[in-house]
Amino acid sequence: MHRALLLGGAWLTLTGAEALVLGVLVTGLSVWLSLRLLPAKHPLALWRLAQHLPRFLAGSVSGGVDVARRAFSSDMRLNPGWLEISSDLPDGARVALGGELSLMPGTLSAGSEDGKLLVHVLDTSAGFDSAIPREVEDIAAIIGQTPKVRP
Amino acid sequence: MADIATYLLTGLGLVFFIAGTVGLIRFPDQFSRLHALTKGDNLGLGFIALGVAFQTDTWAQVAMLVLIWGLALLAAGTVAPLVARAALTESRKP
Amino acid sequence: MTIWLHILAIALLASLGGALWRVWRGPSQADRMMAAQLIGTGGVAVLMVLAALQDWTLLAVAFALATLAALAAVGFVKSESPDGAGDPEEAPPATELRGTVQDRTRNG
């Protein structure tokens, strides 16, 4: 189970290698609790998640650079506006998409309304929205789906 | 060699931190300010963690730095939409 | 190296001073919360630097601070939302949105 790997890894990092028996117990307990609170609905493809990581890191670096350039430039070139994104993603995945978009350049999610994700963009003329369909595809691939984006 | 990497990376991290603060002060509306905060800060924290990682003695410390940064990144991604929504709800109030 | 790390920690703290200004000015509660978040992340960064300077166990403190900063933000959002749930996925009073948020475009 993926959760056991993740939580066990976190335990090892936090405590070092001394408390292994207790670690196995605690990991088992926390996996049970996490499944109890949030039953697994979609098969999470961990390797696809790892595949997505470089693009995510690159995106958050360029997001930071973009926002830093705007913060230091004299006129900031801001032209904020709102978008609504509808997609076939199930609820949980849409939340993940919102969180992810919040770290990508120029976009920031504000939850969803009527199944449409509300996205705030820093500069409506800079074409930040063109990157969104790609993110939707990636999130869908991570939970093993192939949805289409409806503009 | 490791020291040079630390100088460069932590310096870069500091620049992004200052950018986040400058954005938080200068940007005109609260949603734009949230952009600056979420993106600038987490990148800054990432670079500082990376820079500090060159000074560690054991791999466990590196793993700890990675864990903290991962947690901060996840938290920022999750919290940003929540705060944005709260700001939206607040601005809708008469 | 120790000199640079000290300068770094002081500069990070100074940048947190800017965040305090935002806490003071507001204007909205969300602005104050954002500044508090910045202080959270900045505090984690300062602790990382101090860990390199003094004692690596400070990393555990940084970890705790990162967790608490995230939970503080969630607590704020829950206290701000009318029914105390703070769930951005719940059905909102959608009609009022169009009036208050300007230049909202429909595309994607």
pTM above 0.90, yes or no: no
Do A67 and A140 belong together in one domain?
yes
**With an 8 Å Cβ cutoff, are B24 and C22 in contact?**
yes
Domain encompassing residue B23: 2-92
Do A66 and A7 belong together in one domain?
no
Do A7 and A52 belong together in one domain?
no
Nearest CA distance, A111 vs chain C (angstrom): 5
With a CB cutoff of 8 Å and minimum separation 6, the contacts of C51 are B52, C57, C58, C59, C62
Nearest CB to B67 within list A10, A65, A109: A10
Q: Indicate which CATH number applies to the domain containing A101.
A: 3.30.70
Do A27 and A61 belong together in one domain?
no
Taking only the tens place, the pLDDT of each residue in C53-87 is 888 888 888 888 888 888 888 888 777 666 555 55
Question: Given a cut of 50, is residue A102 above it in pLDDT?
Answer: yes
Q: In this predicted complex, what is the ipTM?
A: 0.84
Number of domains forming the structure of chain B: 1
Chain B residues with CB under 8 Å of A99 CB are 74, 77-78, 80-81
Number of domains forming the structure of chain A: 2
Higher pLDDT, A148 or B43: B43
Please check whether residue B35 is in contact with residue A71, taking contact to mean a CB–CB distance below 8 angstroms: no
Chains A and B form CB pairs within 8 A to the count of 112
Do A132 and A67 belong together in one domain?
yes
Is C8 a domain residue?
yes
Is C13 a domain residue?
yes
Nearest to B72 by CA among A136, A10, A68, C68: C68
Chains B and C form CB pairs within 8 A to the count of 152
CB count within 10 Å of CB A48 equals: 16
Q: Looking at residues A70-81, what average pLDDT do you find?
A: 74
Higher pLDDT, A67 or C92: A67
Is C104 a domain residue?
no
